[in-house]
Structure 1
Amino acid sequence: MSNLAQTLKQEIARIARKEVREDVTALRKAASTHRTEIAALKRSVKDLQVQLRATQRAFARAVPVQAPEEASSRPGRKPTFNAERLKVKRQALGMSQAQMAELLGISSLSQWKWESGQVTPRASKLARYFEVMAMGKREAARQLESA
């Protein structure tokens, strides 16, 4: 009797392995296809990132930052950012850092970092910085109210 049971058990195991092998083969093929597609997508994303960086660099070169007119009409040194001058100007205008940040169109944290000299403004923000540095107290207050 044990011989029959053992034979039956072996036959059931053989048939089960055969069915599982077919399923596993299909899954392996699908996994391989998915890995190939993922690799192609990763290459595509990398290429697009390279193109984006190149386009951003080209755009940055094509659109130069312009300083205020009165600064560019005078001969001599080009105007530059100075953290201490920004702090002195803010105090002269009688503003808090939050108000000055709103006037410059930046966050309060950026304002604090600019004033402390930890960070210098991006080229896109320098034009606004020069405009604010040329403002008087009344004009700055007027712009704050209208914002």
Structure 2
Amino acid sequence: MPNIASILKAEISRVARREVRAEIETLKKASVSHRSAIAELRRQVSAQEKELRRVAKGAVRPSSAPDSGGDAGEVTKRRFSASRLAAHRAKLGLSQSSRRWLWRREQPSVLQRVGRPVPRVASMKPRTTT
């Protein structure tokens, strides 16, 4: 015949395991809900960081208006054109030498900007007034 102490011990441990299992189940459910909430918050932070980067890019570089007929994401880069410079200079009524004086540049650098040979590097530095 089994010892009463061992039977009592087995019964107590069985009841204790059942109680612990019930407590662990509630903790597991809470843990799952917390993990899903954390994952959702991470997705929100990621989306906000992307939005912030997009807005920061827009603040640094002005984009074309969405109504302009092009894509809203398409940004046209402005490129230098010697013919446009010559046309603008003619519109303002400036000669090459007066344009050179305005820019404080040597004559070869002004000539290069209207389609002539490339100037010396030394002449590309702004002059200092003495």
Give the TM-score band, short-chain normalised. Answer: 0.3 to 0.5
Structure number with greater CO (CA < 8 Å, separation at least 6) is: 1
TM-score (ref. length: structure 2) = 0.48
Q: Point out the structure with max Rg over C-alpha.
A: 2
Specify which structure has the higher proportion of helix. 1
